[in-house]
Structure 1
Amino acid sequence: MKNYKLYSILFLFSAFILNSCTEAYPLLTNTYEEALVVEATITNELKNQEIKLTKSAKFEDEKYLTESGAEVYITDNSGNRYDFEDQSDKYVSTVAFQAAPGTQYQLHINTKDGRTFESSPETLSTVTPMQSVKAAIEKDKDDKRGVSIRVNSFDPTNKSHYYRYEYEETYKVVAPKWVPTKAFINQNGGLTFGQNDPNTKTCYGNKKSTDLLLLNTTDLKEDRVDYLARFISDQDYIITTRYSILVKQYVESLAAFNYYSTLKKISGSASLLSPTQPGIVLGNLKSTKNPNDKIVGYFDVASISIERIYFNYNDLFLGEPPPPFYTDCQEFCYANYPFSPDPCTHSGGYFDDLEMNNITYYLNGAFYYWVYSPCGDCTTIASNVKPTFWVD
């Protein structure tokens, strides 16, 4: 599924042909108009703010093209101007700044082909920091056990009401079948053995939230948040060793919340053939010269609160066996390998599998075995570069 932030892309469909056959028909865009797609959220965090500009895509397109070479800047009602420079895949402010309460901010975009756009003036939302982010064992709606990541916050002024969440999770991956010796294909095309790289034993995986995580507290007596931002099954390997999650809480204006809610509703359609079709979601951006120049997206000025937590598997599941690994790590052997135990029934050739990095060598006692690559080399599924923020 494409990233939710890009679901505001312009999709125009004509008709889909249905019949009772099982033959698959490619879904193609019969009518297409290019639009500028804007992802822009500035916050009260002092930093170099970022804005992303891309071009709309057809339904069948696999990639999005960036809108490069544009003049991008933000002005405020105090006469300040904040310029952004093109850094390949995003625009970054040339100076660090933060949104201040009571100040109006406006986004301006001038593309290199002469189109001009601007947003409506926006002000910073209520500043409400998170009180805590906690991990605990819970059961989901299907009565399956796992780890809940819950956010708690409270606005005693009862003015926040509209919240949006994002998270980025990082987890340690230890290859369960790593051994100090590794099999290599040498220059002569034969098999040789040498020292394994110790940097292939421990890695760090990383994932970001892709769904729109929204919460509205207007129906509650108090503006109090107890929000389940993430639920991880106790059978998910990412919590096997050590896990960390960075949670961001944005307090949104009513207009911004309505925009994201509509976007979530459209992007969450169960079927492209349902009555709700992806289309233009009107935001707070418009063309200043030509009304036929299309732009979609939202210029968001939101207060932010950020918190990171860590936990080890044994912190929550003391004495319990860890979850199964990412893939099956049972050792196997090849019947055509001369130093394999007998019998071996694994089909195929070990040489081809090794050359394609599908397997890695594993020594078990006096015999040579093999395992699938992630089991003995964590770099096949994660990075062996330890994050700068990581704390063991």
Structure 2
Amino acid sequence: MNRELTYIYCLLALALATGCKKPYNPPVISSDNHYLVVEGVINSGNDSTFVSLSRTVKIAEDVRSQPVINSAVAIEGEQGGAMYDLQPLGDGRYFIGPMHLDATKKYRLHIKTSDNKEYASDYVEVKENPPIDSIGFTLKNNTLQIYVNTHNAANNTRYYRWDYAETWRFHTKFQSDYIVDPVTKQVRGRRPDEEVYYCFADDKSSNIIIGSSAKLAQDVIYQGPITTIPRDAEKISVRYSILLKQYALTKEGYQFWENMKKNTEQLGSIFDAQPTQLQGNIHCISNPAEPVIGYVSVTNTQSKRIFIDNSQIPDDWLVKYPYDCGIPDSARYFNPKSGIAEVDAFIVRGGAIALEKMYIQGADVGYTFSTEFCSVCTIRGRVQQPAFWK
């Protein structure tokens, strides 16, 4: 009896313990603050300037970003100097063409939102940005590691930031020579304009890439790490290209991006650097107590592109396809055992992709087929070749 009572008491205690739990939502998650986020670099040289405006969102919200539209955005010179108005592109992005700013002046970004709030960055000097010397890569630890080399002979840049856009050509696991005609609903050969074996895909850098030569005698960045690609990545299965952009930073700008990097990428254990408050150079004029996220720099953007062919990669670096692509299946015009027209069932009506003709003892009996994921590249890329592609 005592054992049974003990068992019942344990069950009751467990029920009470689990039943009394309440979800805890800390104030930082549920707070309704939507702070302005400013992203962009004022380009002092021959390139255009793009600025993106958005607002922070709560962690619990479904949306990832909240673009700020219908704002007046301008670049202002110090002491009543020149003013340049940016044009809206939609989705919180604003644009102006090359301005060729005076390198002896300072400039700032001025923003007036649709709710009549005003924001402005500090006036910032034009920072000289030397050309990119070269982009290279090494094969190390079963990865392709891309790096940058740059220098300033005058030793007055010292602080750098980079971002990149990458494009690659790839192909599906299987090549489909046939298609279901949208009119006749019959399988026919693909025309040249219907090829879906080779495609192009794109991506952009999402991490913060910075470098400094402040502790060196010469202003040189040698093999500064940019990105790493695994040996089995589809990106390097045919041909890969990276367009690297380089920005020069002030010391204060570098410190901002360094703190941002620590706060977003290097937190994961008690031994990592602890979060710090990000002190940008953009302020709310209407309400000085309102935090604003972002840092505006003024520099001439430098860019360089390289191509990497699969022939430059070791032969045993085989691509790992993003989908499970097993051996192709087969479908007959008529299966004598089942009495079913498998071509009609699996390809015409079932959505499978016909690959090639299937023959038995020289007779055309049907097609091999696979899934769309394994034989149609346009589900994750585009057929059209980019204008810059060699």
- TM-score bin, normalised by smaller chain: 0.7 to 0.9
Structure-1 residue corresponding to 2:38: 38
Structure-1 residue corresponding to 2:227: 230
Contact 1:252 1:303 in 2 (8 A): no
Shift of 1:228: 1.9
State the alpha-carbon separation in 2 of the partners of residues 309 and 151 from structure 1: 11
Equivalent AA in structure 2 for residue 132 of structure 1: S
State the alpha-carbon separation in 2 of the partners of residues 24 and 170 from structure 1: 48
Structure-2 residue corresponding to 1:13: none
Q: 1:276 to 1:131 in 2, by over 3 A?
A: closer
Contact 1:34 1:294 in 2 (8 A): no
State the alpha-carbon separation in 2 of the partners of residues 228 and 384 from structure 1: 31
Equivalent AA in structure 2 for residue 71 of structure 1: A
Contact 1:99 1:301 in 2 (8 A): no
Contact 1:249 1:306 in 2 (8 A): yes
Q: Mark the structure with the bigger radius of gyration.
A: 2
State the alpha-carbon separation in 2 of the partners of residues 373 and 84 from structure 1: 44
Structure-2 residue corresponding to 1:383: 382
Q: 1:211 to 1:340 in 2, by over 3 A?
A: farther
Q: 1:249 to 1:275 in 2, by over 3 A?
A: closer
Q: 1:24 to 1:168 in 2, by over 3 A?
A: farther
Q: 1:380 to 1:286 in 2, by over 3 A?
A: same
Shift of 1:106: 1.2
Cα shift readout 1:268-300 (whole Å, capped 9, x = no counterpart): 254599998878622111122222444221112
Structure-1 residue corresponding to 2:198: 202
Structure-2 residue corresponding to 1:127: 129
Q: 1:108 to 1:246 in 2, by over 3 A?
A: same
Matched residues, number: 356
Structure-2 residue corresponding to 1:247: 244
State the alpha-carbon separation in 2 of the partners of residues 321 and 285 from structure 1: 47
Structure-1 residue corresponding to 2:301: 304
Structure-2 residue corresponding to 1:59: 59
What pairs up with 1:83-102 in 2 under 5 angstroms? 83-102=85-104
Cα shift readout 1:195-221 (whole Å, capped 9, x = no counterpart): 335342221011111000111222333
Residue 331 (str. 1) matches residue 356 (str. 2): no
Q: Determine which of 151, 154, 158 is the counterpart of 1:154.
A: 151
Name the SS for the 1:374 alignment partner.
helix
Contact 1:242 1:310 in 2 (8 A): yes
State the alpha-carbon separation in 1 of the partners of residues 307 and 336 from structure 2: 46
Which is richer in helix?
Answer: 2
Contact 2:106 2:123 in 1 (8 A): yes
Contact 1:333 1:341 in 2 (8 A): no
Equivalent AA in structure 2 for residue 204 of structure 1: F
Structure-1 residue corresponding to 2:47: 47
State the alpha-carbon separation in 2 of the partners of residues 372 and 279 from structure 1: 49
Identify unmatched segments of 5+ residues in structure 2.
1-16, 338-343, 360-365
Shift of 1:233: 2.2
State the alpha-carbon separation in 2 of the partners of residues 372 and 99 from structure 1: 55
Structure-2 residue corresponding to 1:178: 175
Structure-1 residue corresponding to 2:8: none
Q: 1:94 to 1:341 in 2, by over 3 A?
A: same
Structure-1 residue corresponding to 2:76: 75
State the alpha-carbon separation in 2 of the partners of residues 113 and 355 from structure 1: 54
State the alpha-carbon separation in 2 of the partners of residues 313 and 259 from structure 1: 38
Residue 361 (str. 1) matches residue 362 (str. 2): no
Shift of 1:321: 6.4
Shift of 1:322: 4.2
Cα shift readout 1:81-101 (whole Å, capped 9, x = no counterpart): 100122212443454313442
Residue 220 (str. 1) matches residue 222 (str. 2): no
Structure-2 residue corresponding to 1:14: none
Q: Determine which of 186, 195, 198 is the counterpart of 1:192.
A: 186
Cα shift readout 1:296-328 (whole Å, capped 9, x = no counterpart): 2111213322100112111343x5564233333
Equivalent AA in structure 2 for residue 107 of structure 1: L
Contact 1:331 1:362 in 2 (8 A): no
What pairs up with 1:339-350 in 2 under 5 angstroms? none
Contact 2:43 2:99 in 1 (8 A): no
| Higher mean C-alpha displacement, 363-372 vs 101-110 | 363-372
Cα shift readout 1:128-150 (whole Å, capped 9, x = no counterpart): 211111234x21xxxx2232222
Structure-2 residue corresponding to 1:211: 207
Percent sequence identity is 20
Contact 2:88 2:94 in 1 (8 A): yes
Shift of 1:108: 0.8
Residue 282 (str. 1) matches residue 275 (str. 2): no
Contact 2:353 2:370 in 1 (8 A): yes
Q: What is the Cα-based RMSD across aligned positions, in Å?
A: 3.6
Contact 2:30 2:60 in 1 (8 A): no
Identify unmatched segments of 5+ residues in structure 1.
1-18, 344-349
Equivalent AA in structure 1 for residue 383 of structure 2: N
Name the SS for the 1:331 alignment partner.
coil
State the alpha-carbon separation in 1 of the partners of residues 172 and 217 from structure 2: 49
Name the SS for the 2:386 alignment partner.
coil
